[in-house]
A and B are shown apart, each in its own frame.
Chain A
Amino acid sequence: MQAEEDTLENEEYEAELEIKNAEGLHMRPAMQFVDIANRFDSEINVSNGETNVDGKSIMNISMLAATCGTKLRIKAKGPDARQAIDALRELVEEKHFDEPTPKK
């Protein structure tokens, strides 16, 4: 029992998500991102290849200045890591923050 809980605590998932909305990760999308990240107990880290920041901080997320087409590597660690990654993937790649994607 004890052992299983330990593995749960240490569950780690990661995914690469691409910013698809035309205007990039500006203020409102950054807000949506941290709002979702903060719903989970897991630690969430976001990296753009250069910097690695706390996914629950709007300051850090918005400072990534991720424009359309940027790929972010998201790592979640904790009891609900998988759900956190799924929820963030849905926001970024499927709903693209309820914003329009660039015109082809």
Chain B
Amino acid sequence: MEIKKGIAVSPGISIARSLIIDSEDYRIPRRQIKPSQRMIEIQRARNAFKDAIGELTRFESATDKPEGGKIKDIFAVHLRFLHDRSLRKKITDMIHSDLVTAEYAVSTVLREIASHFTKVKDAYISERAADIYDIERRLLTQLLGRKRENVEHLKNEVVIVARELSPTRTAGFDRKFVKGIASDAGGRTSHAAIVARSLGIPAVVALEDLTECTSVGDLVIVDGNRAIVIVNPDEQTIRQYEEYSKEFTELEHRLDAIRQKPAVTRDGVEITLLGNIEFPNEAEVVLEKGGAGIGLYRTEFLYLNTQTEPTEQDHYEAYAETVRVFADKPVVIRTLDLGADKYTQRKRFAPEPNPFLGLRSIRFCLQNLMLFKRQLRAILRVSVLGDVKIMFPLITNRHELMQAKMILHDVMEDLDEESIPYNRDMQVGIMVETPSAALTAHSLARDVDFFSIGTNDLTQYTLAVDRGNELVSMLYSTVDPAVLRLIRTVIQDAHKAQIDLSVCGEMASEPEYIMLLMGMGVRTISITSPMIPEIKQIIRSVTMEYCNNVARKVLGMDSERQISAYLRDAARKILPEAF
């Protein structure tokens, strides 16, 4: 039995056999070969290069659109590497002299090169390591082929154990069979963690060397409540966990019972609870959990899953699927927020030295008009199917907002000319997630129908903290007095201008913070769907008077620590089971 402590990112308990996958990182055992097998392994390595070249050449010619230029460049560089005689010789020499398998030689040589790049101080150059890993992966896929674990067609319940999981990989998991997730790397706010939460799969990350102490088929317990993973538990532990699991399911059921009840405080104030989604198939989970619509539909998934640029029809179908599920309930579609993530940075030629302050989100869209207009057309076309609203992310000034609205207008005119129907009165809103937008909210409010406060980015930009950087992440807190002051400004300005306001960042999903937000005047919140029942229960157990009191107290405090402690305490009184 081995007990490992990590970070709990998605609640719940699961007990199942492990399935070890390595999407980013194949584990290649060093396998010695006999001298007589040398030529076979060398030939396998050569074939892998040949097949990888064939595959890349096909991708390259499929990427023929103007905005595919950068992706095409990347393919071209990878092809040069695959054709590189010095590289190939290094690999075949290693097979020959060290008597190892082709997989081992490919992996070792390319990792040596990658680690050489990571050591270089220059940011442009050190980022090249990602390209080398990509080439390594491509060659290993050729060599290992079908030997990879297939997660898409599971037949038994499993716990997925991995070094690191990408959000797209996680989103592809079948909820019926994937009962738990445990990974070596990752953090609470990593994208894969958010996806696991929204799919309701218990998950623990940052377990460091879990993949090394687990073998395929080991019995594994994932305890997403206590941040623990147990490999090969003994009888007593299994029994104890079966008990925990039963208790947790009962709590979930109790919460599910309030699903159809309204989110109203004891003194009669109604709160609108919406769901955040990333993938169309999550829409139904929002309904199941009792959400009254979608407050944030992230649309980046369309770009993360494919090698080629999605078409207008791809956009349209994905949105239509969701809007149909919600009929007359609101669905707020956020335009593309691509840019600062690993995905786009990897595809970029020269990675930006400071991507979060770089060409991301609405800025990226305003410089890639074809891509932006394609999405706007699709959103306008689905606007006739239900109550669709559009939301622009990362607005930092009025000029950007006016530009985005003007482009939306252009697209409307195009649709008019083609006699394609759309809702002319579709509401237009913005995410308020930069200090500059918060500080000018009074002026931005004049030109939009609603604000949605994105607390994650607002916090990171206000406090100048990268929440993914473990060295400083302790400075990241959405209840820092500075952040709360900005949030209060935005709420007040929205009320003055009489426009709708919601909060869609993770702050709204935290049971500790919900009373504070309500007390500050928030009446609409959008949260990850598994949290809807719990947040609703809190809303139903408090009075607005109490919330107002909490807010008044907190806004008078000047230290983050004091605020956190006070809020945690206040929430524990309301919902003891969750803490």
Contacts and interface: CB of A to CB of B under 8 A. Distances in A.
A39 B350 CA distance: 25
Interface stretch (A1-9, A26-34, A40-48, A87-95): A26-34
B122 A59 contact: no
Contacts of A17: none
A28 B349 contact: yes
A60 interface: yes
Contact of B84 (A27, A28, A59): A59
A57 interface: yes
B419 interface: no
Chain B, interface SS category: helix
Contacts, number: 57
A11 interface: no
B124 A26 contact: yes
Contact of A65 (B84, B122, B131): B122
A23 interface: yes
A57 B86 contact: yes
A61 to B, nearest CB: 10
B463 interface: no
Interface string B47-80: 0000000000000000000000000011011001
B85 interface: yes
Contact of B124 (A23, A35, A56, A60): A23
Given A58-B84, A59-B113, A60-B86, A28 B125 contact: no
Interface in A53-84: 54, 56-60, 62-63, 65, 67
A56 B73 CA distance: 18
B86 A31 contact: no
B60 to A, nearest CB: 13
A18 to B, nearest CB: 16
A29 to B, nearest CB: 10
B563 interface: no
Interface residues of A, number: 19
Given A28-B349, A58-B80, A65 B120 contact: yes
B117 interface: yes
A86 B505 CA distance: 57
A87 B363 CA distance: 38
Contacts of B76: 31
Give the residue among A31, A57, A59, A67 with the most B Cβ atoms within 10 A: A59
A26 B352 CA distance: 13
A31 B350 contact: no
B405 to A, nearest CB: 32
B536 interface: no
Contacts of B122: 24, 65, 67
A15 to B, nearest CB: 22
A58 B77 contact: yes
A54 B73 contact: no
Contact of A59 (B73, B86, B120, B349): B86
B122 to A, nearest CB: 5
Contacts of A23: 124, 350
B125 A31 contact: no
B120 A27 contact: no
Given A23-B350, A26-B350, A57-B85, A31 B80 contact: yes
A51 B125 CA distance: 17
A54 B86 CA distance: 8
Contact of A63 (B85, B116, B131): B116
A63 B73 CA distance: 19
Contacts of B117: 62-63, 65
Contacts of A28: 73, 77, 349-350
B113 A63 contact: yes
Contacts of B131: 27
B81 interface: yes
B128 interface: yes
A35 B361 CA distance: 35
Interface string B322-351: 000000000000000000000000000110
21 contacts: A23-B350, A24-B122, A27-B131, A28-B77, A28-B350, A30-B77, A31-B73, A31-B76, A31-B77, A54-B86, A57-B85, A58-B81, A59-B81, A59-B86, A59-B87, A59-B113, A60-B86, A62-B117, A63-B117, A65-B120, A67-B125
Given A57-B86, A58-B80, A59-B86, 6 more contacts: A23-B350, A28-B350, A59-B84, A59-B87, A63-B117, A65-B120
Interface of B: 73-74, 76-77, 80-81, 84-87, 90, 113, 116-117, 120, 122, 124-125, 128, 131, 349-350
Top 3 A-B pairs ranked by shortest CB distance? A57-B86, A58-B80, A59-B87
